[in-house]
């Protein structure tokens, strides 16, 4: 199985300073939406099959017109925005736990992808992206003579 590496622009993994990388990870963890002060990053599952990768992201409450998907240099980026709905409340007690604001997730893909055959579907707050592997990235059975 090939592992995925989270894309971090500017990081040279061969010459990485461990202290700097820990600082970067902490910054990623503590990034907050400027409007809400809450964390907002959709949960993502990625499965690898022989001929494709399938990425599934939970983005409930987001309209598909507010989601953008980009593949550049084998880095897949999903970004968008969940708009905050303001509610008027008569009571003194008010609670807001749902995340909102802009989000972005990027993934360095472990195999070459056939960009012309990528498919994306969005239903019930679940974004599913099917990323077919390019022919040269698919496993090939070799016959012994």
The pLDDT tens digits of the residues spanning 69-118 come to 999 988 999 999 887 666 656 666 566 666 678 888 999 988 889 999 99
Q: Smallest Cα–Cα separation from 138: which of 52, 47, 73?
A: 52
Mean per-residue pLDDT, 111-126: 93
More confident residue, 126 or 86: 126
Is residue 10 over pLDDT 70?
Answer: no
The pTM of the full predicted model, rounded to 2 decimals, is: 0.65
More confident residue, 40 or 66: 66
Q: Rounded distance, CA 104 to CA 108, Å?
A: 14
Q: Is there a contact between 56 and 45 (Cβ–Cβ < 8 Å)?
A: yes
Is residue 31 over pLDDT 50?
Answer: no
DSSP state of 84: P
Q: How far does the chain reach from its first CA to its final CA, in angstroms?
A: 27
More confident residue, 115 or 140: 115
**pLDDT for the residue numbered 55:** 96
Is residue 52 over pLDDT 90?
Answer: yes
- Give residue 17's pLDDT band: very low, low, confident or very high (50, 70, 90): low
- Give residue 133's pLDDT band: very low, low, confident or very high (50, 70, 90): very high
Q: Rounded distance, CA 25 to CA 115, Å?
A: 30
Instruction: Look up the CATH architecture of domain 5-137.
Output: Sandwich (2.60)
**pLDDT for the residue numbered 1:** 46
């Amino acid at each position: 199985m090939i592992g995925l590496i989270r894309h971090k622009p500017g990081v040279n993994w061969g010459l990485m300073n461990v202290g700097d990388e820990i600082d970067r990870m902490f910054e990623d963890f503590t990034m907050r939406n400027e409007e809400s002060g809450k964390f907002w990053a959709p949960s993502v599952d990625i499965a690898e099959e022989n001929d494709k990768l399938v990425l599934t992201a939970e983005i409930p409450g987001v309209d598909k017109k507010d989601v953008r998907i980009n593949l550049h240099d084998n880095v897949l980026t999903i970004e968008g925005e969940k708009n905050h709905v303001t509610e008027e409340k008569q009571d003194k007690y008010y609670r807001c736990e749902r995340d909102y604001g802009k989000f972005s997730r990027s993934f360095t893909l472990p195999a070459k992808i056939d960009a012309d055959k990528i498919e994306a579907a969005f239903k019930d707050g679940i974004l599913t992206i099917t990323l077919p592997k390019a022919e040269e990235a698919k496993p090939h059975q070799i016959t012994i003579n």
